[in-house]
Structure 1
Amino acid sequence: MIKGLYEAHLPVSNLENSILFYKNLGLELAYIQDNLAFFWIAKGESWLGLWESDKVELPYHPSIRHIAFRVEKEDIIFSKKWLNEKGIAIRTSFGFNEHRQPLVLPNNPHAHAAIYFDDPDGNSIELITPIRIDFQEDFKMMTLEDWLKREE
């Protein structure tokens, strides 16, 4: 019955600034009304709602104010350069600073490569791709660069 995630929502303090930020990421503006804007993530499949609100100052927790965009494995390799070219700072995550990202998350029996940054309101944004599914192997979190060297 469930085929995927259709929408997610984030609070923003200034809708105009946030619209510019998400357009800069390459998302297509789908709908705007009053204090709400929706962007297509995959047109007709999934979208992101941005709500202008005075409730933006909620403390961050991974269960709120976080969204992860799926990218292709080939794209994650160039994600740091792509973000830097757009003037977007990479956030230190799990002790991995900008120079050590993208990183590989050991979600056994899976592995995912990811990179983290914030939108203008401090909402946590992640670019992520699966790099191994259903293969049991214990390993510690590492840089994608180190992962790729292991795979050679």
Structure 2
Amino acid sequence: MIKGLYEAHLPVKNLEVSIEFYTRLGLKFAWRDDETAFFWIEEGKSWLGLWEGKEHQTPYHPSLRHIAFQVSYDDLKQSLQWLESIQVKAVPFGRRNSVEPFVRPYLGNASVYFDDPDGNSLELMCNVVVPDDLKHITNKLLIPEWEELLVKTTSQN
């Protein structure tokens, strides 16, 4: 029945500022009215609605103000350079100090985080193939640590 995610929404303080920001991310502008703007994430498949209003003051919580955009693993490896090129700063995830992309072997994914102008949490995320003997790892590993571990595991098998 369910085939994917069609839309998600975020609250914003200033629609003009947010339109400029999401355009820099490479999302394709779809339409707007006085209080709302929509961007295609994947044209014809999924879009993001931005809603101007006082709701942007809602305290951050990932269940309310977070979106993860799917990227390739190679793109994730280059994400810090890409974000810098569009004047966006990566932010640490949770209690981490590092902004570097990291892998969650136990979940089979990797991420890097950044915020929009209103403090909405945005994430670039990809799936990673995790060998069975590494799926027990619950630490978050930086990409170079992950790749080194993969090389060691492959050479032992």
What is aligned with 1:38?
38
CA RMSD of aligned residues (A): 1.6
Would you say 1:130 and 2:109 are equivalent positions?
A: no
Trace 1:49-88 onto structure 2 (pairs within 5 A). 49-88=49-88
Aligned with 1:94: secondary structure? coil
Distance 1:89 1:98 in 2: 12
Does the Cα contact within 8 Å between 1:90 and 1:98 map onto a contact in 2? no
Q: CA shift at 1:135, angstroms?
A: 4.3
Does the Cα contact within 8 Å between 1:102 and 1:115 map onto a contact in 2? yes
Query: Where does structure 1 differ by over 4 angstroms across 4 or more consecutive aligned residues?
Result: 133-136
Aligned with 2:57: secondary structure? coil
Aligned with 1:5: secondary structure? coil
What is aligned with 1:141?
140
Does the Cα contact within 8 Å between 1:76 and 1:102 map onto a contact in 2? yes
TM-aligned CA distance change 1:141 to 1:29, over 3 Å: same
What is aligned with 1:112?
109
Distance 2:26 2:96 in 1: 26
**Percentage identity across aligned positions?**
46
Give the letter aligned to residue 22 of structure 1: Y
Q: CA shift at 1:105, angstroms?
A: 2.0
Distance 2:131 2:148 in 1: 21
Does the Cα contact within 8 Å between 1:115 and 1:127 map onto a contact in 2? yes
Instruction: Report the structure number with the largest CA radius of gyration.
Output: 2
Aligned with 1:55: secondary structure? helix
Give the letter aligned to residue 19 of structure 1: I
Q: CA shift at 1:133, angstroms?
A: 6.3
TM-aligned CA distance change 1:129 to 1:50, over 3 Å: same
The two structures have a TM-score, normalised by structure 1, of: 0.92
TM-aligned CA distance change 1:129 to 1:52, over 3 Å: same
Q: CA shift at 1:132, angstroms?
A: 2.3
Higher strand share: 1
TM-aligned CA distance change 1:133 to 1:48, over 3 Å: farther
Aligned with 1:40: secondary structure? strand
Aligned with 1:69: secondary structure? strand
Higher helix share: 2
Could you list the runs of 5+ residues in structure 1 that have no partner in the other structure?
Answer: none
CA deviation profile, 1:132-151 (whole Å, cap 9, x unmatched): 26947211111112111112
Give the letter aligned to residue 39 of structure 1: F
Q: How many residues align?
A: 149
Give the letter aligned to residue 125 of structure 1: L
Q: CA shift at 1:96, angstroms?
A: 2.9
